[in-house]
Amino acid sequence: MSDAPVSESYDEPYLETCCRSTLHRLLLCASTGRPTGLKDQPCLERLERLGLSELRADGRFVITQDGLKRHREEIGPTG
């Protein structure tokens, strides 16, 4: 048995560069949101499955509170 210190494990799903970029675009769009049908649609859908974005009834994706938290952790502070 090792006496090495136990580190915390990182259990968040990895975000590909394209998905991190999409998360940042969602932040920049704020309440306007991003429409469906754009080239980043697969990333928007993945972020939705992870709970980092949501698709509103008007067909636009917006960032969630969990998405804002993840953005701060992986991309940086927002202000």
pTM score of the predicted model: 0.81
The answer to whether residue 14 scores a pLDDT higher than 90 is no
Residue 27 and residue 23: Cα distance in Å, rounded?
6
Give the model's confidence band at 65: pLDDT under 50 very low, under 70 low, under 90 confident, else very high. very high
How much is the pLDDT for 10?
54
Of 77, 72, 51, the residue nearest 62 (C-alpha): 51
Residue 27 and residue 37: Cα distance in Å, rounded?
18
Average pLDDT, rounded, for the chain = 88
Give the model's confidence band at 9: pLDDT under 50 very low, under 70 low, under 90 confident, else very high. very low
Contact 58, 79 (CB under 8 A): no
